[in-house]
Structure 1
Amino acid sequence: MRRLAFWASAFMALALALAVPAAAGTGTAAPPDPTAAAADGRSAFAAGPARAALVRLLPRHASQFTLVPVSRPASGDYFTVSGRAGAPRIEGTSPAVLLSGVNWYLKYTAKVDIGWPGDSTAKLPRILPAPSGTVRKDASVPHRFALNDTDDGYSGAYRDWAAYEKQIDLLALHGANEVFVQMGADAVYHRTFQEFGYSDDELRSWIPGPAHQPWWLMQNMAEFGGPVSERLLDDRAALGRRIADRLRQLGMTPVLPGYFGTVPPSFTARNPAGPVVPQGRWVGFDRPDWLDPRSPVYAQVAASFYRHQRHLIGDSAMYKMDLLHEGGRPGDVPMGEAAKAVMNALQTARPGAVWTLLGWQKNPSTQIIDAVDKSRLLIVDGLSDRFDGLDRETTWHGAPYAFGTIPNFGGHTTIGANTAVWADRFDAWRSKPGSTLKGIAYLPEGTGQNPVAYELFTELAWRTGPLDHRAWFAAYAERRYGGADPHAAKAWELLRGGPYSTPSGAWSEPQDSLFTARPRLTATKAASWGPTGMRYDAGTVRRALTELLRVAPGLRTTDAYRFDLVDVARQALANHSRTLLPRIKTAYDAKDLPRFRQLATEWKGHLTLLDQLLATDRRFLLGPWLEDAKAWGGTEQERAAAEFDARSVLTTWGHRSGSDAGGLHDYANREWSGLVSDFYAVRWTAYLDSLDTALATGRAPVAIDWFAVEDAWNHQRDPYPVRTSGDPVALATAVHEALPAPQPAQAATDPAGTLHQWRRAPDRAALN
């Protein structure tokens, strides 16, 4: 009976695949859509999936578009935009490319934005405007890869189909054609290792909770947040199939996890012919063992893995896996020989498949690259914009790679990215003699933040020359709110020159908020491996808030404006935490109790105001995150386990060893209403009150066991709002009034002396 839900979902997915026109080579096509004829009279593919997405994205205007499939030439994907008023015509080489053409029309003809998140489509006229002539855009690279291995953990492991459907639509709209899909991999492992001596209970205890599974799939840890139920495994497999099928229908490649050797505990006790290499520890967690890929048993396990994956999720042309990620141990296994065996198992199961690897820290090694056919490799580089002096052709011995970025870690809600580096570096690397740059890779650890960064980065793949950074932001400011406004233009120019022009050298993400840090007077960051100070002049954000509050009332009604206003006000307040905390420390060190109390009250007041501001936008609410998790549980016990899994990944991350000794606490810090009021503010209030008592009594502050406090919150079950409250404009105005006016020389007078610390190398690369 417990498998009934899985098979019902599987049959529904099969019915959907047969009912909805599929991309070439992915299924049986339905009768042609009236708008699906190719320009030369031949049907290259069915436009039905693109039209269905268009109806979801633009229900009031979808019928005005004519979508015309065309065959993909040897030169690669392209789209054209033409037509007349009320009848824009989009030609494209896949359903997803058709949507990319629609997006180009929306941005550069209709001048509105569908961002991730935020949109201004409410400003579209009833009759769509005519394009000025015909515009053709060719993809400058064949690979347009999206999503980090960690995306499910930090963006929401408990999302439902509607959320994933929206994500896929937005990825297609912005040009992605290769998307990492881990959903359902747990069920594949569960079925595979039952063939190698493990019981159902043993495997369900080994598999972590969904929010922590990305790091299990990367061979970093196991078990935490589990055990998982059989029903959960079945439901996740059904959803994984549905996600992969939708990508196939849109002509996009679902990039699936490959098998590289992770095994459950005591593998050799059950399989004596399968030698394993112990992998030691990863920031406080025991890592799963690695099965020697040279052994015959590895080939048997890999064959079983790919067989079950085909049955549950389907096939792909691309598989993502990394050998010995973040400090793994090869033992006496030659990495070149291991790579050959891993590639051989992949090619045996999926002839012609591409092995995708992450460029991160020192991986992949040239031993791996040189041992296999480079034409079957794609390295998605997570460091393209982070360091200077990179030569990927030399480092990776000519293997093809995608220019990639990780503009946030842990899903931090902080604005900014090295976008000016992207604008300069991508085209220079792509067009240089001997370049092996073959793609882009959008790899934030958590998606759904920084919509301007997402839009700019993904647009690189449709440009064949340098991007004018200033002009691009000016055009963005106009379409973001559906109309030209001098104050919006000035706000986005300030943001462009501040948080969106951070340099390469040591970091690819901005600093996080000290409000989200474990309390201490010397705090300079919340996440252990984040930047220790401001990476730009904080005054740019404060002045941008001033300008956004002056935007014309007619443009304030857009979803994009309201999101941006809350986000910029949130960032301005978060930046002020880096000025206010050193002042609190100065008062405490001077034993100035009245001054300390005044500043501590201000700090607490800012946390209260911050939570109220965040409560005005659903994308900054904790409630939906927790309700999504509970919705996956079939029993009260399952709901409690899911909620703990979802809470802990935001706070302690793991058990005491990983959280404290490993430094994982607050790695996924984010400013969300509910999390601010009941977690961050509670910590800071307890801490500041202990300092107040110490000053008043002359005694040392009472030590606080932060992990115990935090883990107690992880186990709570109290609900949080899923609906917004308050007026975003009024509360952003309150933030503006609560902050001091920016000083012209703020960069030079940064009290912590941290503004330029990006130029110093970090003590350890951030975890991925």
Structure 2
Amino acid sequence: MLGYGLTTGGLALVGAAAAMEPGTASVTAARPPSEALAGVVSETVSGRVGRSLARPPEPPEPEAFDVTPAQRVLERLLPEHAGQIRLHAAAADDGVDRYRISAPAQPSDPYAVVVEGTSTSALLAGAGWYLKYVAGVTVSLPGDSVALLAERLPSPSTVLAGAAAVPHRFALNDTEHGYAGPYRSWADWERTLDVLALHGCNEVLVAAGHDEVYRRVFAEFGYRPEDVDGWIPAPAYQPWWLLGNVQALGGSADPATRQAGVDVVRRIVDRLRELGLTPVLPGYAGLVPGGFASRNPGAAVIPQGDWGGYQRPDWLDTRDPLYARIAESFFRHQADLYGLSTAYKMDLLHEGGRAAGVPLGAAAVAVMTALQTARPGAAWVMLGWQDNPRREVLDALRGCASAVCAGQRVLVVDGCSDKFETFDREDDWGGTSYAFGTITDFGGRSLLGANAAVWTARFPKALSRPGSALSGTAWLPEASGHDPAAFELFTELAWRADPVDLADWFERYAARRYGRPDAAAAQAWRVFSQTAYSLPAGKYTQAQDSLFSAWPDLSATTAASGGPAMRYDGAAFQGAVLRLLQADPALRAADAYRYDVVDFTRQALANHARVLLPEIKDAYVTRNLDGYRRLTGRWLDAMRLLDTLLATDERFLLGTFLRSGGYDARSLITTWGDREASKALRNYGGRELAGLVADVYLPRWRKHFAAYETVVTGAVEELAATDWFAMDDAWARAATRYPTAATGDPFAAANAVAAFLTAF
């Protein structure tokens, strides 16, 4: 059983092996390991640890758990090499996940490496550590370098032992099902789950597929199927419906689409359980369809007002006896569809809402009571974001009877651990157990960069604080599959109690990411680490977005409302991108290098737009026609180059994101729905994708520049405002199909961009 509600103070959890040159160091646990992992005796010479003097112990018989699921993960991710990695299950005597990596006992052994672990999560984390720090490759989200592995995997020259610094390694955001792609196939999900497991994550939020749960629930409370269907949004918008923000948005999905979604979610939760990981499922916190009180007279229903221009769903006061009945139905139907869990994600009044006099502490106790009635011992997972969770909620749960609140089994997954200049979650949340977390990819926008130096400084400090309530990490991008460097670094934190040398980590990362050392790549990543990945705390946890995706405005500083302006030295970053392109052509065999060439060159072009736009505005203001035409022409040329570049990789294709999605998926990444919502939410989900650039962003800017040129020439004095919403909405409602197969050479396209940038 996972230790929700426990703090690390007093548990003396140990850190995993520190980053090291493959074969040069061995870091063993700071406390005695379990018997199964005991017997490692090392000698230290001048700070370097030599080969273990003891033969690796034999695995316990019988095995503590089945290693077959972990082996299958390796077979899927490393089809040519998985057979050279031998996995052993080891018994754990202290509840801490541990792994141990060693060479086989005999040189003639057909295995190149032996990985032992106390859980499937620990086994796979150990295998991932071996791949990075001995074999010198990475498998990430997205991209890998396994194509550069030698036919025979290298054996470790020392024993590497590691342990989880925290018991909770949480992954994914409530918004994942929308921004990462609401129509993803099982194959897409399977790789995501495999890679999360390889990085030691052991709790994964699965919020998709719950529209079917609500259909079944409210059929028991007086609703016809068509009534519930009219309340539930289309798949792309369902995350915000579950959060209590929107309803009836984007149209109802057809039965075949709904069933396909249920089938995929069933496979997701089954796979997580197979791997010994916890599927964190949505709980029930009081969401009800419109007209609930008229169907159920006397129900204490509280209208929730609006969110972002949308009507929020009604909320049932959870102290109302009807709430317990609905919660029982919810958990029953959820179990029928997706089975049981030990952790359920719920937030009271997410991003606003109205309590209308309801004491939220008492409401929270009612929610916890319903949860414990349905799932005794289960944990309530809450998102740390804005005013959530409210202190009165946490205090009430902390003070209620153990029999009701299960010993305050609450975990806050904090989305803002790296956001603000000051950080004291013990004070904010009164000692409630929390996971150190970050949100890096708001809206799934095309962003590179993170507050990485804040992570590496704050996490070990928080972990070592006396009485610390820190008990986990939480990787919370609003859409997974972006910015693999940030993903790699953050997920390593959970397996370390020691500080990370950020400059050293990034320099070594380049070699792992691309499968071999390369001077040009190392130099490029040294600069990336000093620019995009050294963003400070203060207000933001993400880098700037792309002005190409903004509604045209010569004074624009961000595409999405409230986003940051430029957060690092763009010229230095561009120089590093040009250096990355000079790496040994042999690296082109690595999928990760090909992906990064597209992504970092894309980012350099996006940064260049921030240089161009002020100059375009200056030419407009001064009525410099030649300068205006030259600069706007360059802007449009940059967008054409961008679309060509993005088309060379299927992960940057609009068709790949849309899959079978219609208006809901298209509007999510442009207008974010209707006209009123677009005033605040437009382009929040925007990203740079081939097809989206060519058919949405480029026509916007071309129209804008053409209109403003008539002012520069003196043909007109004033311009009427352009209805950008109408343009975007017309595109979103069209049935245009987009390719899902890449075209062109990414390296030729990237070098064309490099020539373009250096010519300015």
SS at match of 1:441: strand
Which residue matches 1:396? 429
2:90 is equivalent to residue 70 of structure 1: yes
| Superimposed CA distance per residue, residues 220-276 of structure 1 (whole angstroms, 9 cap, x where no aligned partner) | 001111212333333322221211110001010000000000000011000113211
Give the unaligned 5+ runs of structure 1: 1-36, 631-641, 743-768
Tell me if the contact between 2:87 and 2:123 (Cα under 8 Å) persists in the aligned partners.
yes
Shift of 1:38: 8.1
- Say whether the 8 Å CA contact 2:60–2:89 is kept in structure 1: no
- CA distance in 1 between counterparts of 2:135 and 2:678 reads 49
- Distance in 2 (alpha carbons) for counterparts of 1:614 and 1:231: 32
Question: Which residue of structure 2 aligns with residue 583 of structure 1?
Answer: 615
CA distance in 2 between partners of 1:741 and 1:395 (Å):
52
| Counterpart for residue 504 of structure 1 | 537
The SS at the match of 2:636 is: helix
Whole-angstrom CA distance in 1 between matches of 2:261 and 2:608: 42
3-state SS in 1 of match to 2:743: coil
Aligned length: 690
CA displacement at 1:656 relative to structure 2 = 0.8
Q: Within the alignment, does 1:427 sit opposite 2:460 as a pair?
A: yes
The sequence identity of aligned pairs, in percent, is 51
1:620 partnered with 2:649: no
Partner of 1:687: 704
Q: Distance in 1 between matches of 2:501 and 2:265?
A: 39
Q: Which residue of 1 aligns with 2:481?
A: 448
Aligned partner (choices 209, 213, 238) of residue 188 of structure 1: 213
One-letter amino acid matched to 1:44: A
Instruction: Provide the residue aligned with 1:49 in structure 2.
Output: 69
Q: Could you report, residue by residue, the CA deviation over 1:437-496 in whole angstroms, capped at 9, with x for unpaired residues?
A: 000000011111110100000001111211111111111111111111111110000100
Q: Give the structure-1-normalised TM-score.
A: 0.88
Name the residue aligned to 1:409. 442
Residue 735 (str. 1) matches residue 760 (str. 2): no
Distance across 2 between alignment mates of 1:394 and 1:547 = 46
* Aligned-partner residue type, residue 292 of structure 1: D
Is 1:323 aligned to residue 348 of structure 2? yes
Matched, 1:102 2:127: yes
Matched residue type, 1:106: L
- Specify which of 285, 308, 311 is matched with residue 310 of structure 2: 285
Q: TM-score scaled by structure 2?
A: 0.89
Match of 1:347 among 346, 349, 372: 372
The amino acid across from 1:472 in the alignment is W
Q: Does the 8 Å contact 2:302/2:314 carry over to 1?
A: yes
User: How far apart are 1:94 and its partner, in Å?
Assistant: 2.0
Q: Corresponding residue for 1:337?
A: 362
Aligned counterpart, 1:547: 579
Aligned with 2:674 (options 629, 640, 655): 655
- Kept after mapping to 1: 8 A contact 2:285/2:348: yes
SS class of match (2:194): helix
Does the CA-based 8 Å contact 1:113-1:121 persist in structure 2? yes
State the secondary structure of the residue aligned to 2:353: coil
Q: Is the 8 A contact 1:273 1:297 kept in 2?
A: no
| Aligned partner of residue 137 in structure 1, secondary structure | strand
2:735 to 699, 717, 723: 717
1:160-171 equivalent positions in 2, closer than 5 A: 160-171=185-196
Question: Take 1:210 and 1:38, find their aligned partners in 2: how far apart are those partners?
Answer: 50
1:328-366 Cα distance to aligned partner (Å, 9 max, x none):
110011001100000000000000000000000111011
Per-residue CA shift, 1:99-118, capped at 9, x if unaligned? 11111110000001112111
Q: Decide which of 248, 258, 270 is 1:223's aligned counterpart.
A: 248
Q: What secondary structure is seen at the aligned counterpart in 2 of 1:144?
A: strand
Q: 2:716 aligns with which of 691, 698, 704?
A: 698
Between stretches 442-451 and 696-705, larger displacement belongs to 696-705
Q: CA deviation at 1:740?
A: 4.1
Give the CA deviation at 1:75: 4.0
The one-letter code sitting in structure 1 at the alignment partner of 2:78 is L
Range with greater deviation from structure 2 (363-372 or 700-709):
700-709
Between stretches 42-51 and 133-142, larger displacement belongs to 42-51
My pick for the range that moved more, 397-406 or 126-135, is 126-135
**Which of 21, 29, 39 is the equivalent residue of 2:59?**
39
2:77, 2:615 → 1: CA distance?
48
Distance of 1:725 and 1:232 partners within structure 2: 29
Q: Deviations over 1:554-602 (max 9, x none)?
A: 1222111111111111111100111100101001111112211111111
Query: 2 CA distance for matches of 1:540 and 1:50?
Result: 42
- Map of 1:488 onto structure 2: 521
Q: Secondary structure at the match of 1:500?
A: coil
Contact 1:211–1:646 (CA<8 Å) still a contact in 2? yes
Q: 1:387 aligns with which of 400, 410, 420?
A: 420
Equivalent position SS for 2:103: strand
After superposing on structure 2, the runs of 4+ consecutive aligned residues of structure 1 that deviate more than 6 Å are: none
1:528 corresponds, among 552, 561, 565, to 561
- The residue matched to 1:435 in structure 2 has which SS? coil
Q: How far did residue 64 of structure 1 move?
A: 1.0
Per the alignment, residue 19 of structure 2 pairs with: none
Q: Structure 2 counterpart of 1:458, which letter?
A: T
How far the C-alpha of 1:205 sits from its partner, in A, is 1.4
1:505 Cα deviation after fit: 0.7
Task: Report the residue type matching 1:139 in the other structure.
Answer: A
**1:762 alignment partner in structure 2:** none
Cα displacement (A) at 1:193: 0.5
1:617 Cα offset (Å): 1.0
1:671-701 residue CA offsets vs partner (Å, 9 max, x unmatched): 1110001000010001111111233303312
Per mean C-alpha deviation after superposition, the further-off stretch among 572-581 and 689-698 is 689-698
1:673 alignment partner in structure 2 = 690
SS at match of 1:547: helix
Q: Is the 8 A contact 1:205 1:228 kept in 2?
A: no
User: What is the identity, as a one-letter code, of the residue corresponding to 2:223?
Assistant: Y
Work out whether residues 148 and 589 of structure 2, in 8 Å CA contact, stay in contact via their aligned partners in 1. no
Matched, 1:568 2:600: yes
- Contact 2:463-2:497 at 8 Å conserved across structures: no
1:94 is matched by which residue type in structure 2?
S
Letter in structure 2 aligned against 1:276: V
Q: How far apart in 2 are the matches of 1:246 and 1:151?
A: 18
Q: SS of the residue aligned with 1:410?
A: helix
Q: Distance in 2 between matches of 1:681 and 1:234?
A: 37
**Partner-residue secondary structure (3-state), 1:501:** coil
Cα distance in 1, alignment partners of residues 257 and 744 from structure 2: 37
- AA in 1 matched with 2:152: I
Query: Given the superposition, is the C-alpha separation of residues 38 and 700 from structure 1 closer, same or farther in structure 2, using an over 3 Å criterion?
Result: farther
Amino acid at match of 1:689: A
Structure 2 letter corresponding to 1:487: A
Q: Unaligned regions of 5+ residues in structure 2, if any?
A: 1-56, 399-406
Letter in 2 for 1:714: A
CA RMSD of superposed structures (Å)? 1.3
C-alpha deviation, 1:95, in angstroms: 2.0
Q: Which amino acid aligns with 1:665?
A: R
Deviation at 1:282, TM superposition (A): 0.2
Q: Distance in 2 between matches of 1:54 and 1:174?
A: 12
Separation in 2 of the partners of 1:455 and 1:690? 45
